[in-house]
Structure 1
Amino acid sequence: MIEGAVWLKAGREKKIRHLYPWVQRGEIDRIEGSPTDGGLIRLLAHDGTLLGIATYHSRSRFPARVLTLQEEAINEAFFARRFENALQLRRRVITETNAYRLVFSEADGLPGLIVDRYAHSLVVQVRTLGMERLKPLWLPALVDTLAPDGILERSEMESRREEGLSPFTGVLYGHVPERIAITESGLQFLVPTAGGLKTGFYLDQRENRRQLARLVQPGERVLDLFCYTGAFALYAARAGAFAKGVDILPEAIALAQQHAERNQLPVEWEVANAFEWLPAAAERGERYDWIILDPPAIAKRRAELESLRWALWKLVYHALPLLTPNGRMLVCSCAYQMDLSLMVDTVRLAAHDRGRALYLEDVSFQSPDHPFLMQFPESLYLKCLWLRVG
């Protein structure tokens, strides 16, 4: 049910017509009716032309988030079409795995909703009040389209508080096991549905893991820092490398060890703080042909950007002495706030301060089941630099 209309200031309609889905406070000219927070509104240009249907939240940094650019009913059938379109895309781009991101929020036309598929289970995140209120429509559509054994919601992100929502975890449908067995490129993993990071597994790094496996040579030494449950290290070990994984979370390392045993691969694991481990390893004289630096999102707000830059500089600066001549390093950042040019500059500065030549050989991004909508820059968040030390 449409509760009102939001009129934009003159000229502000262009970005909406160009597929940018968010409206900022300062772009609103006036509001008609009495739309409630989380309700649906018509979005209108200054001349009254319909721009689309959006969710509304008076207290949000982005009061309107666009669901569609045309006049259409927002009902179960609407969500079923969105889910089917998303599923058809994944069938084209996803291979050799039964785990992938089915819905990537705005990039799939469903702002505020994340859906990850792990074998026969789904894990969802609801990030906005609008999508929370629409749950009675999208949840049955999701069940009908995917026919999962169960759906678990893990909406634990702090950003929900900005929407007036509390963190929530719970089963929405059917049964979801505590650990879901998945396969990726012939490797077997267990996805923790309670307590794991993100929705349980880093699906966005799938193609980067595969690229690492293609590049690593048998006998090389590979260090996987912030390894979580060990996926990069396991790919390297299967390629014939000596692999070591380091993570600060004991429960992650315990599961990584189970993964190594499950796949019958020899990997050395250690529970440690990577920032402290690196200089200590340099003092011990450890050397590696590959170092993977894939830290979690240290900064989630622009105000924290300097902290992120300092953290990345520190990691690269202390990792460089551990690399063998012509050794390679994969440096990743999953923070949207750090764009590619700033990331490159931060890494360059660390190499300069260490007095080492560093060559950029490739750049990669998130897996294609996390599509980058070019008109929505925020949908490109994962950047990876493939580097070689001189």
Structure 2
Amino acid sequence: MVELILNRGAERRLKRGHLWIYSNEVDTKRSPLKGIDAGSQCQVHDSQGKLLGTAFVNPSQLICGRIVSRNSDFSTDTVCERIQTAFEQRQRYFSHPSYRMVYGDSDWLPGLVVDRFGDYLVVQVSNWGMERYQQTIVDKLVEMVNPKGILLRNDHQGRAVEDMPLVHTVAFGDVPEMVPFEENGVPLLAPVHQGQKTGWFYDHRENRRLLNRWVNGKKVLDLFSYAGGWGIQALANGAAEVVCVDASQQALDWCLLNADHNGFADKLKTIQGKALDVLKGLVAEGERFDAIVLDPPAFIKRRKDHKAGLAAYRHINELAMRLLAKDGLLVSASCSMHLQSDELLDCIRGAAHRLGRPASILASGGQGADHPVHPAIPETNYLKAHFVHLGGNTNK
């Protein structure tokens, strides 16, 4: 097995439990990265030669290595054991078989995501090392879950970054376009073939559950709605009316399908367009909502985008607040790994102050138990949501 020798001091983060190795941490004079095949397993040593573990390596990437074992042993048996462990953990914390079954680094399976939708599974592999175990993964899932179908959604941006082929195929059984599942007791349909990523975003499950307690009889605006994860559950929990906004008409069609699936189609309105444009239009029309969900895609995808992304969060939170009725509720969320929770709170504070509206933070939340945070990898703790009560305008 090829050896990777790290620069002096580069092992500190790994010894604290982190699993990533950056290319500038490798002593390339003693262990050149050039010539190593992407996906190879390499033994990782500190500058003194002490074994730190075994890693998947892709020499062309900034994160050139991902630790998969703290010794020199990693095999098909290891993959199967870790999938089994992740599955048993989800079974312990979820009574219904709708959840993220495997969450990459947090389950010691870097580059692997598996989402379960009852009898159907959607799998994503995002590095060459895990790609070599793809058939093992499928076979283990069939043995363990006995699903009706397994879909490989290996057509995402993560694979393009790793220079991997984009593949979208059914690996086992049959998988319909829309698969049934359940979240917070609400029956839903996920567009697993054509939808974003695996077809659904389970990570906000607990934040949606909290909002569901406070929407009875309310008029709700669901921005960046996708297939209606927030809005449809709000209707199922007594919301009087929900308006879903998304740039994609197809996403809004899925919202309508989910509303009809639950018998609430008459209470759902959809608006197709860019969120900023729609917000400005609704402000001009004098619209008001009792609750607004602001759950945008990541505005800060890279560290260098932080300044511009922070300005975008400030701007969109202020626009949303302009639409919120007195004593209304704003759910302000972010999935940007590079945005800290306190920074989002500061955006909220600043927007409320500029509008002269007293703000109270009722609750703050993160990702659910099927997206466990690895305590040594802050990058696995990416999701944040703040529930904000806004009073009336004190400047009037």
TM range (shorter): over 0.9
> Structure 2 CA distance, aligned partners of 1:255 and 1:381?
26
Report the alpha carbon displacement of residue 164 of structure 1 after superposing the two structures with TM.
Answer: 1.6
SS of 1:332's partner is: strand
Aligned to 2:157: 158
> Structure 2 CA distance, aligned partners of 1:225 and 1:202?
15
Aligned to 2:373: 372
> Structure 2 CA distance, aligned partners of 1:182 and 1:162?
31
> Structure 2 CA distance, aligned partners of 1:140 and 1:48?
37
Unaligned runs of 5+ in 1: none
Report the alpha carbon displacement of residue 287 of structure 1 after superposing the two structures with TM.
Answer: 1.2
Report the alpha carbon displacement of residue 192 of structure 1 after superposing the two structures with TM.
Answer: 1.0
Aligned to 2:79: 79
Aligned to 1:229: 227
Pairing of 1:297-308 with structure 2 (within 5 A): 297-308=298-309
Aligned to 1:37: 38
Pairing of 1:273-312 with structure 2 (within 5 A): 273-312=274-313
TM-score with structure 2 setting the length: 0.92
Aligned to 1:110: 109
Matched AA of 1:389: L
Q: Deviations over 1:210-269 (max 9, x none)?
A: 1111122x3222111111111211222222222222222111111211211111123222
Q: Deviations over 1:66-103 (max 9, x none)?
A: 1111232412x1111101110111112223x3321011
Moved more, 18-27 or 265-274: 265-274
Kept after mapping to 1: 8 A contact 2:317/2:347 = no
Aligned to 2:238: 240
Matched AA of 1:24: Y
Aligned to 1:137: 136
Matched AA of 2:229: A
Matched AA of 2:57: Y
Moved more, 283-292 or 31-40: 31-40
SS of 2:31's partner is: strand
Sequence identity of aligned pairs in percent?
32
> Structure 1 CA distance, aligned partners of 2:236 and 2:190?
20
Alpha carbon RMSD of aligned pairs, Å? 1.9
Q: Tell me how many residue pairs correspond in the alignment.
A: 385
> Structure 2 CA distance, aligned partners of 1:149 and 1:5?
42
Pairing of 1:1-390 with structure 2 (within 5 A): 3-29=1-27, 30-31=30-31, 35-75=36-76, 77-95=77-95, 97-216=96-215, 218-242=216-240, 243-265=242-264, 266-390=267-391
SS of 1:31's partner is: coil
SS of 1:329's partner is: strand
Q: Deviations over 1:266-289 (max 9, x none)?
A: 322222322111121122221111
Matched AA of 2:358: A
> Structure 2 CA distance, aligned partners of 1:16 and 1:144?
34
> Structure 2 CA distance, aligned partners of 1:307 and 1:198?
25
Report the alpha carbon displacement of residue 351 of structure 1 after superposing the two structures with TM.
Answer: 2.4
Q: Deviations over 1:35-89 (max 9, x none)?
A: 42211111112222221111011111111101111232412x1111101110111
Report the alpha carbon displacement of residue 32 of structure 1 after superposing the two structures with TM.
Answer: 7.5
Q: 1:156 to 1:344 in 2, by over 3 A?
A: farther
Unaligned runs of 5+ in 2: 392-396
> Structure 2 CA distance, aligned partners of 1:299 and 1:166?
26
TM-score with structure 1 setting the length: 0.93
- The list of structure 1 runs, each at least 4 consecutive aligned residues, that deviate by more than 4 angstroms after superposition, is none
Kept after mapping to 1: 8 A contact 2:53/2:67 = yes
Q: Deviations over 1:109-161 (max 9, x none)?
A: 01111111111111111111222233243332333233322221112332323
